[in-house]
Amino acid sequence: MSSIMTNNGAMVALQTMKQINGSMSKVQGQISTGLKVGSAKDNAATWAISKVMESDVSGFKTIQDSLSLGSSTVNVARNAAETTVKLLTEIKEKIVGAQEQNVDRAKIQTDIDQLRDQIGAVVSSAQFNGLNMVNGQAQNPVSILSSLDRSAGGTVQSGKIEVSLDTTNLTTNVGTALTAAAHPGTGVAQAIADGADLTFAAGDFDFADAGGAAGGAVARRSGDMTAAPTGDALAAGDRVELDVDGTRVAYTVREGDGGSAVLAGLRNQLEAAGLHSSIEVEFDGADFTISNNVGDGDPIDVTMTATRGSGGLSALEGLNVAGTDQERTDALRDIEQMIQYGIDASASFGSAQKRIDIQKEFVGNLMDSMKSGIGSLVDADMEETSARLQALQVQQQLGIQALSIANQQPQNILSLFR
C-alpha cells in the first residue's frame, strides 16, 4: 500500500544514513586520534586497564631516574674505593722499601704521610648530590628505589635495592674503644704460659639488640635500631682486633654476625698471618683456643680490643717506618689488611652498581613492553580503519541514493490522478 502520509522507505533510508554517519564519525575519530578506545564510553573495561598501566609506566619513569641517580652515586663510591686501593698499594711499596737498612726512612715516612692525606682527600670528596658512601656518615644501608610491584589484587608497593655500608668506611677514624662488655676478654692483656691454652667462647660476645641495648643475638646495623648502640655491645661496622704475640689481625663485624663469625674471621686471619709454628689456633664453632707450644718457657701475650664503628683504614694514622723494627713489621702487616679492606669495599660497590644497572635496563625493557601492551589495547589499526572508512563512504553514497529514491515515491502517486 502506498501512502503520502507515511514514507516507510524514506524512514528506513534515513535510519540507515544515521547509522552510517555515526559509524563514520567513530572511524574519523579513530583516524584523527589514532585510538580505538579514546575514552571510557568507547570501552570502559579496556580504558580502565590502559589507564592503570599508563600510571605504572609513569611510575617506572621515576624509578628509572632513581636508578640512574643510585648508579651514579655508587659509581663515585666505587671509584673512590678503587683509587684508595691504588694509594694503599703505593704506601705498601714505601713500607716494603723501608724494611731495607740503607734507606732514608724519614723521607719514606714523609711520602707515606702525604699518601695518607691524599686518601683522606679522596674519601672526603667522594660524594654525589651530597651522599658520601665511604666516609661512614651515610645511613646504612643506602636504599635505592628499584621497582613498582603490583599484586593481582591491585595492591602496589615499591621495591628497593639496598647497598650495605658495613665494610665500606674508608676513613682513618679510630673510633671509641669498647671494653670487656663486648667480650669478657676484650681490652685485657692475657699471658699464656708455655704449654697452656687460652679460650675465647663465641657465646660470650654481646651484641646490641633492636633498641640499641645489650642482649642481641647477632650484629645489627645502627640504622636498623631505634636508638644508637649503647654501652659496649657490638654492632655491624665495629672492629675487633686480636694481638697474639705481636701478630695483630682485625675483623670488621658484619650484619648478622654472631660470636662464631667474629672468632672465625680472626682465626682465618691469624692462620694467614704467619704465627710461630708452635702457636696453634683452633676453632670448633663455639670455642676459639690459642695454644702456646713454643717450648721456650716464656709466655706469649694475647690482647683482644674492639672499637665502635671505626674506619676501615684507622691503622693508617699509626704507620711508622721511621721508628723501631717492630713498628715497621706492624706497618707491613697493617697495610696488607687495609688493602684487603679497600678491595672488599670496591668489590661490594662494584656488585651493587652492576645490579642497579641490570635493574635499570630491565625497567627500560619493561616500560617498552607495557607501552606495547597498552597500544594493543587502545590503538587503532590504521589499515583496518582506512578500509572501513572507504566502505562507509560507499555506504553513505548508496544511502543518499536510497533516501533520494524513497523521497521520490510520493511523486509517483500523482500519476494515478492524472
Pair (260, 182) in one structural domain: yes
**Integer Cα distance of 345 and 76 in angstroms:** 12
**Integer Cα distance of 341 and 357 in angstroms:** 24
Q: Please state, for a pLDDT cut of 90, what percent of the chain lies above it.
A: 33
As a whole number, mean pLDDT of residues 364-379 equals 86
Pair (284, 185) in one structural domain: yes
Q: What is the CATH number of the domain that holds 92?
A: 1.20.1330.10
Q: Which of 180-184, 194-198, 216-220 has the lowest mean pLDDT?
A: 180-184
323 domain residue, yes or no: yes
The answer to whether the beta carbons of residues 218 and 202 sit under 8 Å apart is no
Pair (233, 303) in one structural domain: yes
Pair (153, 185) in one structural domain: no
Most confident of 93-97, 252-256, 314-318: 93-97
Q: What is the pLDDT of residues 203-262, one digit of tens each?
A: 989 998 888 888 888 988 776 788 878 778 898 888 888 999 888 888 888 888 999 999
Pair (61, 116) in one structural domain: yes
Q: What is the pLDDT of residues 122-150, one digit of tens each?
A: 999 999 988 999 988 888 789 999 988 88
More confident residue, 330 or 281: 281
Pair (274, 295) in one structural domain: yes
3 domain residue, yes or no: no
Last residue of a domain, one of 277, 310, 343: 310
Last residue of a domain, one of 310, 336, 357: 310
What number of other Cβ atoms are within 10 A of residue 229's Cβ? 26
As a whole number, mean pLDDT of residues 360-367 equals 92
358 domain residue, yes or no: yes
**Integer Cα distance of 275 and 381 in angstroms:** 78
Pair (68, 58) in one structural domain: yes
**Integer Cα distance of 48 and 39 in angstroms:** 9
Residue 96 confidence (pLDDT) above 80: yes
Number of domains, the chain: 3
Q: Which of 107-111, 213-217, 285-289, 374-378 has the lowest mean pLDDT?
A: 374-378
Most confident of 5-14, 116-125, 174-183: 116-125
Last residue of a domain, one of 284, 310, 336: 310
179 domain residue, yes or no: yes
Pair (266, 386) in one structural domain: no
The mean of the pLDDT values for the chain is 86
Pair (219, 290) in one structural domain: yes
Q: Which of 6-10, 87-91, 266-270, 286-290 has the lowest mean pLDDT?
A: 6-10
What number of other Cβ atoms are within 10 A of residue 357's Cβ? 16
**Integer Cα distance of 300 and 292 in angstroms:** 7
For residue 181 the three cell numbers come to 662488655
The parent domain of residue 404 ranges over 8-34+380-417
More confident residue, 21 or 106: 106
Most confident of 26-40, 90-104, 148-162, 310-324: 90-104
Bridge partner residues of 241 (DSSP)? 250, 305
pTM score of the predicted model: 0.70
As a whole number, mean pLDDT of residues 289-296 equals 89
Pair (45, 104) in one structural domain: yes
Pair (297, 205) in one structural domain: yes
Q: What is the pLDDT of residues 4-27, one digit of tens each?
A: 666 777 787 788 888 877 777 777
HSE value, Cβ hemisphere, 13 Å, CA-based, for 262: 34
pLDDT at 1: 58
pLDDT at 4: 65
Q: Which of 27-31, 125-129, 263-267, 373-377 has the lowest mean pLDDT?
A: 27-31
Residue 174 confidence (pLDDT) above 80: no
Secondary structure (3-state) at 257: coil
Pair (124, 167) in one structural domain: yes
For residue 336 the three cell numbers come to 696488607
More confident residue, 75 or 231: 75
1 domain residue, yes or no: no
As a whole number, mean pLDDT of residues 302-318 equals 84
pLDDT at 349: 95
211 domain residue, yes or no: yes
